[in-house]
Amino acid sequence: MQNIKIISTASYTPPQVVTNNELTTLMDTSDEWIKSRTGISQRCISQDENTSGLAFKVAKQLLQKALVSADKVDLIIIATMSPDAYTPSTAAIVQGLLGAGNAIAFDISAACTGFVYAYNIAELMLRSSEMRTAMIIGAEVLSKLIDWHDRNTAVLFGDGAGGVLLQKSEDKTSGTLGQHWQTFGQLSNKIIAGQTNIAPGFPKDKTSLTTFSMAGRDVYRFATHEVPNSIKQAMKTAHVNLNVIDHFLLHQANVRIIRQIAKELNQPLTKFPINIDKYGNTAAASEPILLAECVNAGVVKRGEIIALSGFGGGLSVSTIILKY
Ligand code: ACO
């Protein structure tokens, strides 16, 4: 089977940092509550850049780091639940800004699972075509979907972008070993944001996009059950066992969820890098930001085996096991 390798990683978060204490001026909450229930200390909030702007900054870094020119990119997929517009796709905007005229570009919507879904889609497309190089970016400006007076959701989310450049390679020491993806549409009402009044049954008085509503405890239970299951399913397809996985890079939604998953899998917490304290939940951007930071810091090294696992709106879950 043709090998597909990550040739560069990158991330970008907006410079404006909003601490938990700053949020207490907008809603009835506290630094202590937010930290102890979620692990979040601060988040980055975009002032004047939209989702395509954050993604474009990541896209440029990906090309620079890999010394690949824009015309060599065959495919751009952006995973986002907060696109600039319904159309054009955020990926098309980034393709235009980059001058990557040979690339097919489109977005996918799978909330916090979006980056891992996009990775899977890109692999399938590269394997079944003459395409050689794919850019996968998770990018979000979730702050535009937040009710800044709703303490149940506003404290959780942040803005940012991260991505990888994938390329077909003869190097057999890196590449994907296995994967799993699953959607639970019967739970689609558990996380809703950006709902419109277009479809029958939706409230007729709502004329604009809605802000986040989330059944937090149900999503918590879903994540702590379905993520370990997804990792185990992916391991079966990869023909590896848990102990050979060097790092579990999980979607950063809540540090308690990550601890519980480590416990369920009977794996040491040291194998689970965490950066939610700095960024909050950045949905589709969370895993590529974490991966890029781990690669930069030398935490994830070439030849190591990592599990990338996302979960969220849909509800949805997905895992890729790969040798970095
Ligand atoms: N500050 C202070 N108090 C608060 C806050 C806040 N920010 N938010 C809620 N509370 C209160 C509640 O009103 C409640 O008060 P009550 O007991 O008087 O009714 C109390 O704190 C407990 O609230 P719970 O919702 O039960 O708190 P819980 O411990 O479940 O934590 C949380 C809530 C953090 C949302 C948790 O359920 C969670 O992380 N769920 C998973 C969310 C997730 O993973 N989302 C990922 C997907 S997101 C996506 O796809 C885009």
Q: Which parts of the chain sit beneath pLDDT 70?
A: 1, 197-208
Give distance in angstroms: CA of 23 to centre of ligand 1: 15
Gap between the Cα atoms of 2 and 30, Å rounded: 51
Q: Count Cβ atoms below 10 Å from residue 204 Cβ, excluding itself.
A: 8
For the chain, give percent helix, strand, coil, nearest 5.
Answer: 40, 25, 35
What is the location of CATH 3.40.47.10 in the chain? Answer: 3-169, 175-323
Please provide residue 181's backbone torsions phi and psi, each rounded to the nearest 5 degrees. Answer: -145, 145
- Tell me the catalytic residues: 112, 251, 281
| Residues 53, 57, 62, 64, CA torsion sign | positive
Give distance in angstroms: CA of 152 to centre of ligand 1: 5
ipTM of the complex: 0.92
Complete DSSP assignment for 124-145: HHHHTSS--EEEEEEEE-GGGG
- Through-space distance between the first and last CA atoms of the chain, rounded to whole angstroms: 17
Gap between the Cα atoms of 284 and 296, Å rounded: 20
Contact 76, 135 (CB under 8 A): yes
Which helix (H) or strand (E) segment holds residue 259: the answer is helix 255-264
Which atom of ligand 1 is nearest the CA belonging to 81?
A: 51
Q: What is the pLDDT of residue 197?
A: 60
Give distance in angstroms: CA of 269 to centre of ligand 1: 23
Q: What is the pLDDT of residue 283?
A: 98
* Interval 168-211: pLDDT, tens: 998 888 899 999 999 999 999 999 999 876 566 666 665 567 89
Q: What are the residues facing 181 on neighbouring strands?
A: 318
Which atom of ligand 1 is nearest the CA belonging to 142?
A: 51
pTM given for the model: 0.95
> Which CATH number applies to 175-323?
3.40.47.10
Q: Which of 152, 190, 227, 259 to mutate to test the pocket of ligand 1 (most atoms within 8 A of CB)?
A: 152
Q: What are the residues facing 213 on neighbouring strands?
A: 192
**Could you tell me which CATH class the domain 3-169 is placed in?**
alpha beta
Residues with CB under 6 A from ligand 1: 29, 33-34, 37-38, 111-112, 151-152, 155, 191, 216-217, 219-220, 223, 253-254, 257, 281, 283, 312-313
